[in-house]
Amino acid sequence: MTIHAGSAAIEVERLSKRYGHTLAVDDVSFTVAEGEVFGLLGRNGAGKSTTVDCLAGLRAPDQGRIRVAGLEPRRDRRELRQLLGVQLQESQLQDKLTVAEAMRLYASFYRRPADIDQLLAMLDLTEKRNTRYRRLSGGQKQRLSIALALIGRPRIAILDELTTGLDPVARRDSWQLIDDIRNSGVTIMLITHLMTEAERLCDRVAIMRDGRIVALGTPAALGRPTLEDAFVALTDRRVS
Amino acid sequence: MNMLKMLTLTEARLLLREPLAFFWGVAFPMVLLTVMGLSASSIDGVSLVAIYEPIVIAFISVAFGVQGIPVQIAGYRQGRILRRLATTPAGPARVIGAQLIVSLGVILIATIGVLAVGRLGFGVPLPRQPLGFALVVVLSAAAMVAIGLLIGALAPTARSAGAAATVLFFPLMYFAGLWTPQMSASAKHIGQFTPLGAATQALGDAMNGGWPHPAAFAVLGVCTVVCGGLAARFFRWE
């Protein structure tokens, strides 16, 4: 299967997901083009993570249609896992596993894994290859988590809360890294609540509130005077 | 297959990096047997070391099955490792499979170690009914692993899994005879309906050359199927 430039990497049509009485995702539609960096923004509880779970095939939607790289995430889960790299919020590794061991383990899951040394160099982890996970700094753990999301040479990468907990220097390094990843042809979906990050990295963003998309467009078009002002205006109950 | 192999190697490597688990599950049973052997006492003409060998072997499967597995599974769930694996082609079930393989493997190795200590150190004969003995070892390991899976399925955190395992440890090992190898007739009667009471009696029978009583297989089999089934039914991946 070939995907042509400009075609959709991710298509979401009228997605809804309910937990008990709360509608976590309510009639959400958006499209991410091949090669695009797409930001999903919103406050905690806005429905971002549930949307990601549905895209990754971890949860079945109640309604709506999803295509990721042309696949239906639940039905085509096996194939999708080869094509989609996911960095999950707050997911850890075994304390006593070293960086290189984790990379080799995850590489064994994929049909045509990336070169481990190259990926470690790209993420500035070469010197830490024999360090156990527990002994890594927050930024190093985060970079390893990104490396593991990329080890299967995914066509699409979903990065959830990429820079949460990182210091400003480490955050800027990760931004550079996102540029590098997109330049290697990977479509990226970024979940964040940092507006500067979205402004700097994303071609387009969708802002979610109470399970719905309340704004969608380029950061420049949405952000008047800044994206952060627009975000607050759209998502703060006291303002609207 | 390659994935399961890599996961199994990784789990084995991680176990080797846990000196405490290794001491408790592998070294401690041999030390305990040695202490019994050095005391050189006997009950009703049977040496203490021969009486304790089945008990110590039952202990090994408790250490790895009931105490080791649930803490690991709950920890993997808590650290969202299972969820992370769910997004890869490996899936979360394979890592549980790898843990079971490693646990069964180390239980068998430690059992052979205990038999060797008994034989070489104190002249306890090797099981005279080796096939029956091996069957009971494997079945009791399966039963303890099934209990461990059930705790791991239900316990929300590694800490609560550890607490539940510790609470279960005492009745399980009491009926195996860890503290009172010579139990009263009534305690012994109740004991044969508990998995480790049945296992130690069956292991003792097989050591002396007899085929283990079918009731022991039944008790262990029921425990494995019921606990394993409930674990599968109630398992939460996140």
- List, for residues A206-230, the tens digit of each pLDDT value: 999 999 999 999 988 887 777 888 8
**Region A164-192: what's the mean pLDDT?**
86
Q: CB–CB of B148/B162 below 8 Å? A: no
Confidence check: pLDDT of A94 > 50: yes
**Region A133-152: what's the mean pLDDT?**
92
For tokens 């996961």, what's the residue? B7
Task: Give the bridge partners for A30, in sequence order.
Answer: A12
Q: What is the pTM of this model?
A: 0.88
For tokens 């920890």, what's the residue? B75
Handedness of CA B218, B224, B229, B231 (dihedral sign): positive
**Exposed, middle or buried by CB within 10 Å (0-12, 13-18, 19+), for B92?**
buried
Confidence check: pLDDT of A41 > 70: yes
Could you count the other beta carbons within 10 Å of the beta carbon of residue A177? 19
Do B18 and A108 count as a contact with CB atoms less than 8 A apart? no
**pLDDT tens profile B88-145:** 999 999 999 999 999 999 999 999 999 999 999 998 999 999 999 999 999 999 999 9
Query: What pLDDT is attached to residue A239?
Result: 54
Q: Which domains does chain A have, with CATH numbers?
A: 8-235 (3.40.50.300)
Residue boundaries of the structural domains of chain B: 2-234
Confidence check: pLDDT of A3 > 70: no
Confidence check: pLDDT of A180 > 50: yes
CA–CA–CA angle B23, B25, B30 (5° rounding): 75
Cα B200 to the center of its chain, rounded Å: 12
Confidence of residue B179 (pLDDT cuts 50, 70, 90): confident
* A106: nearest CA partner in chain B: B88
Is the Cβ of B19 closer than 8 Å to some Cβ of chain A?
Answer: no
Is the Cβ of A131 closer than 8 Å to some Cβ of chain B?
Answer: no
Confidence of residue B188 (pLDDT cuts 50, 70, 90): confident
Could you count the other beta carbons within 10 Å of the beta carbon of residue A14? 12
Task: Give the bridge partners for A157, in sequence order.
Answer: A85, A188
**Stronger pLDDT, B83 or A231, i.e. the higher one:** B83
CA–CA–CA angle A112, A102, B149 (5° rounding): 105
Is the Cβ of B222 closer than 8 Å to some Cβ of chain A?
Answer: no
**Region A9-19: what's the mean pLDDT?**
95
CA–CA–CA angle B143, B149, B154 (5° rounding): 130
Q: CB–CB of B57/B137 below 8 Å? A: yes
Q: Which residues of chain B have a CB within 8 Å of the CB of A90?
A: 80
Do B14 and A94 count as a contact with CB atoms less than 8 A apart? yes
Query: What pLDDT is attached to residue A2?
Result: 46
ipTM rounded to 2 decimals: 0.89
**Region A181-198: what's the mean pLDDT?**
89
Residue B125 has which token pair?
């004969």
- Packing angle, helices B48-61 and B195-207, rounded to 10: 130
